[in-house]
């Protein structure tokens, strides 16, 4: 018998407030960047993004997504043993967001609670950790991985990359351990870190120790993005995905769905082309929601599952990239 880990339920939360491209294009006219921005929006595939409204935080969004995922899975909060929150905009560092979420949803049997942060690889990375807990320790039956990004308040208004490209939202996915006669569920995972861009994206820009200093401009408590060449994406994603497929002796074209970082549509298409895979297999949702970081591959899965279901033995891939940079991927068999 194999101690497998399956996807039991998934859900997302999007704030109601929508912002269209034209608002940003008008705003960036004052910097003479409107034409450049139009080109960028087209390359990365943006139309509309959702922004947090007053009172919405990474915790409120996580809680909304968590409750919806429980409903989708047909279980209650008390059925959850492990909560991992994966966000790089945690409303609090003390206590962990996972512990606050546990309290808000009433997951009174969740003894394992912690936060993880590998930026936009966060939820993929946290699914990997949840998989390892469920696979190695029979005390645990179900894990909830919950993530959110509330980044619109932290972008600088003159930053053409972050400000127009990002969106706020939450997502949650529930994993369950089951014994099967064959190996299925999560099959393999991998990460790839190259720290050459470690100083390009920084939040808070001033460093944590400076947020308490009177002399720090509050604008410096926001996010800094120094432009860098991200043409490495498609090549490195391909390398990472191929290493997982090779481990399991599966062909890229035999994978039924690709749930990628939603940062750039152009780079997703390049990756599919490099893998020799029909572009339609990679769901793209950032045209509707903006780039929602850690949650973005899970949002792509969630929207796909509303349109079509996967059959037994279908394979899917999760793959993302985070600041610095770090990549993470997982291979799953339904």
Q: Which residue ranges make up the site for a copy of itself (CB under 8 A)?
A: 57-58, 88-96, 98-100, 102-103, 110-119, 121, 125, 129, 132-133, 135-137, 139, 150, 153-154, 189-193, 195, 198, 201-204, 207-209, 211-214, 216, 218-219, 221-223, 322-326
Give the nearest distance from C-beta 325 to a copy of itself in angstroms.
8
Rounded Cα distance between 282 and 288, Å, is 15
Residue 46 tokens, joined: 């943006």
Burial pattern 280-316, b for ≥16 Cβ within 10 A else e, equals ebbbbbbbbbbbbbbbbbbbbbbbbbeeeebeeeebb
| Closer residue to a copy of itself in complex, CB, 29/132 | 132
Give the nearest distance from C-beta 280 to a copy of itself in angstroms.
30
State the Cα angle at 262 between 16 and 116, rounded to 5°: 85
| Closer residue to a copy of itself in complex, CB, 14/281 | 14
**What is the DSSP-derived secondary structure letter of residue 182?**
S
| Closer residue to a copy of itself in complex, CB, 213/306 | 213
| Closer residue to a copy of itself in complex, CB, 243/273 | 243
Give the nearest distance from C-beta 96 to a copy of itself in angstroms.
5
| Closer residue to a copy of itself in complex, CB, 218/231 | 218
Give the nearest distance from C-beta 281 to a copy of itself in angstroms.
26
Burial pattern 44-63, b for ≥16 Cβ within 10 A else e, equals bbbeebbbbeeebbbbbbbb
Give the nearest distance from C-beta 162 to a copy of itself in angstroms.
10
Give the nearest distance from C-beta 178 to a copy of itself in angstroms.
17
Question: Which H or E run contains 22?
Answer: helix 21-27
**What is the DSSP-derived secondary structure letter of residue 120?**
B
Strand partners, 17: 51
Place of tokens 């749930």: 259
Residue 306 tokens, joined: 């509303």
| Closer residue to a copy of itself in complex, CB, 152/283 | 152
Cis omega (within 30 of 0) on the bond before 95? yes
| Closer residue to a copy of itself in complex, CB, 72/103 | 103
Give the nearest distance from C-beta 114 to a copy of itself in angstroms.
4
């Amino acid at each position: 018998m194999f101690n497998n880990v399956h996807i039991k339920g998934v859900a997302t939360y999007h704030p109601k407030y929508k912002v269209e491209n034209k608002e940003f294009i008008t705003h960036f006219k004052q910097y003479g960047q409107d034409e450049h921005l139009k080109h960028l929006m087209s390359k990365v595939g943006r139309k509309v993004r959702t922004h947090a409204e007053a009172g919405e935080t990474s915790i409120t969004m996580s809680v909304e997504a968590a409750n919806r995922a429980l409903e989708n899975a047909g279980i209650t909060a008390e059925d959850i043993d492990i909560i991992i929150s994966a966000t790089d905009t945690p409303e609090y560092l003390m206590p962990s967001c996972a512990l606050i979420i546990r309290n808000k949803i009433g997951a009174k049997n969740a003894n394992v609670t912690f936060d993880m942060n590998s930026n936009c690889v966060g939820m993929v990375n946290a699914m990997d950790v949840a998989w390892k807990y469920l696979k190695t320790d029979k005390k645990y039956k179900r894990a909830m991985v919950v993530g959110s990004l509330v980044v619109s308040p932290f972008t600088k208004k003159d930053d053409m990359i972050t400000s127009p490209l990002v969106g706020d939202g939450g997502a949650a996915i529930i994993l369950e351990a089951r014994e099967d006669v064959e190996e299925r569920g999560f099959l393999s995972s991998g990460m790839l870190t190259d720290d050459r861009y470690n100083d390009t994206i920084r939040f808070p820009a001033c460093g944590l120790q400076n947020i308490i200093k009177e002399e720090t401009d509050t604008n410096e408590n926001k996010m800094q993005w120094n432009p860098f060449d991200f043409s490495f994406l498609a090549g490195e994603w391909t390398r990472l995905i191929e290493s997982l497929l090779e481990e399991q002796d599966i062909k890229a074209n035999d994978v039924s769905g690709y749930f990628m970082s939603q940062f750039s549509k152009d780079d997703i298409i390049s990756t599919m082309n490099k893998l020799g895979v029909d572009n339609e297999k990679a769901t793209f949702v950032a045209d509707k929601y903006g780039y929602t970081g850690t949650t973005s591959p899970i949002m792509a899965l969630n929207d796909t599952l509303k349109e079509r279901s996967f059959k037994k033995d279908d394979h899917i891939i999760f793959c993302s990239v985070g600041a610095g940079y770090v990549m993470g991927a997982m291979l799953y068999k339904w």
